[in-house]
Amino acid sequence: MAHVLVRKDLKELAKLYDYISMCTHCGNCKYFYEYGPAENLATASCPQGDKFMFDAYLGSRGKNSIAKGLLSGKLELNQSLIHILYTCTTCGACQQMCETDVKPYILRIIETLRYEALKAGLQPPGAIPRWSAHIKVERNPYMEKHVDRTAWIPSDIKNKLPKKAQYLYFVGCTASYRQKNIALATLRLLLKLGVDVTISEDEWCCGSPLFRTGQWDLAKEFAEHNAQLLDKHGAEAIITTCAGCYRTLVRDYQQDPPEGYKDLLGNIFNAKVLHTMHLIEEMLRKGEIEFEGSLDKVVTYHDPCHLGRHCEVYDPPRNVLKAIPGVKLVEMRRSRQYSYCCAAGGGVRGAYPEYSLSVAADRVREAESTGAEILACVCPFCWRNFTDAINNIGSKMKMMDITEILVDLVKEKRK
């Protein structure tokens, strides 16, 4: 395999050596570009590179060079690399643009670099150590108590939720503890539409922040707990409103792992997982949803990286928005696979809040440039970062989860 020294102590990174070697250093991963009759796009893609400029920060080329340097012994794994490794939002824009055989492995390589850094005893940045210690005890990264996980559910609804149901709503930590508006809109919407749904008190964090920041041993413990819980519940399908939970349950829990991730946990989970938008889109298609009001607003949609590029779910939220009376959907220049990241993910919001908010502000300005009055999304983590950015820059944009738009407009189904 290798004609150079491959450091065997970097065990996980060494496994990826062949793929890392396939990076041709072409630099395609540094920008979005698409030329042709339908598209004419050439623009920035990497939030990390946009803010920190140097080649090591811009796209995956620099990360592959770091990996090669470490494996060949030319580079030392020391604290000075932490800023480069942890300001990447793991948005996947670089992976989208790469055209060589390293492509499927790019995010895995970035996350493996983080894993090796932590194994070597390096200190992760910002709030990561604090929430990592907390999550082990209270099963959420928000410094909240596990017993309060379902405190957002009003008692009149809680008392009526069945023990078992056709669908289990996997709420996720952000909606349970912070964006309760989205958790509540989702549950109310599903109940209004007559969906047989319930919630488990034993849900733990899906593990997304652990997977993305390289804390795989702990992530595995969380994945195993949730997999057992969901299997035991026996619901026909799991529903998430969070893009991060969706990516984690579908991809990281190995139901449909991307090529670079097939060996990470082994196949631990096989239940059907839907994002809320899949279910609503299907109900609309079957004529099961009636509206009793209209929005009459121009709306633009932000593709969360975890739902879009990571899982290729682009159409369901758009189809749902288009079905809402009075919605005029306009697209941002960077949308679908070319969507620009909100910079909350990959551990970045907790580690580097100012940088994270500055990227989100850039995206809000891009949304403003479409003439939209509402920035719609289907991820509580994007919602939080955009809302904070909107407030910071004094934007008039209104941030809304699509469930928040729907809940007041759909007609209640009579039982």
Binding site for ligand SF4 (CB under 6 A): 23-29, 45-49, 59-61, 64, 88-94, 98, 100, 102
Shortest distance, position 10 Cβ to ligand SF4, whole Å: 19
By beta-carbon proximity to ligand SF4, the closer residue of 56 and 242 is 56
By beta-carbon proximity to ligand SF4, the closer residue of 32 and 170 is 32
Shortest distance, position 57 Cβ to ligand SF4, whole Å: 7
By beta-carbon proximity to ligand SF4, the closer residue of 216 and 340 is 340
- Spatial contact of 109 and 61, defined as CB atoms under 8 Å apart: no
Shortest distance, position 162 Cβ to ligand SF4, whole Å: 41
Shortest distance, position 38 Cβ to ligand SF4, whole Å: 22
By beta-carbon proximity to ligand SF4, the closer residue of 89 and 241 is 89
What residues contact residue 231 under an 8 Å CB cut-off, 6+ apart?
Answer: 269, 271
Token pair in block for residue 134: 């907390």
Q: What CA–CA distances, in Å, run from 394 to 211, 258, 316, 388, 397?
A: 34, 39, 31, 10, 9
- Spatial contact of 244 and 381, defined as CB atoms under 8 Å apart: yes
Shortest distance, position 336 Cβ to ligand SF4, whole Å: 15
By beta-carbon proximity to ligand SF4, the closer residue of 89 and 335 is 89
By beta-carbon proximity to ligand SF4, the closer residue of 23 and 185 is 23
By beta-carbon proximity to ligand SF4, the closer residue of 29 and 264 is 29
How far apart are alpha carbons 47 and 253 in whole angstroms?
27
Shortest distance, position 212 Cβ to ligand SF4, whole Å: 10
Shortest distance, position 178 Cβ to ligand SF4, whole Å: 23
How far apart are alpha carbons 127 and 134 in whole angstroms?
11
By beta-carbon proximity to ligand SF4, the closer residue of 81 and 397 is 81
By beta-carbon proximity to ligand SF4, the closer residue of 269 and 352 is 352
Shortest distance, position 48 Cβ to ligand SF4, whole Å: 4
By beta-carbon proximity to ligand SF4, the closer residue of 55 and 412 is 55
Shortest distance, position 254 Cβ to ligand SF4, whole Å: 21
Shortest distance, position 83 Cβ to ligand SF4, whole Å: 13
How far apart are alpha carbons 290 and 411 in whole angstroms?
5
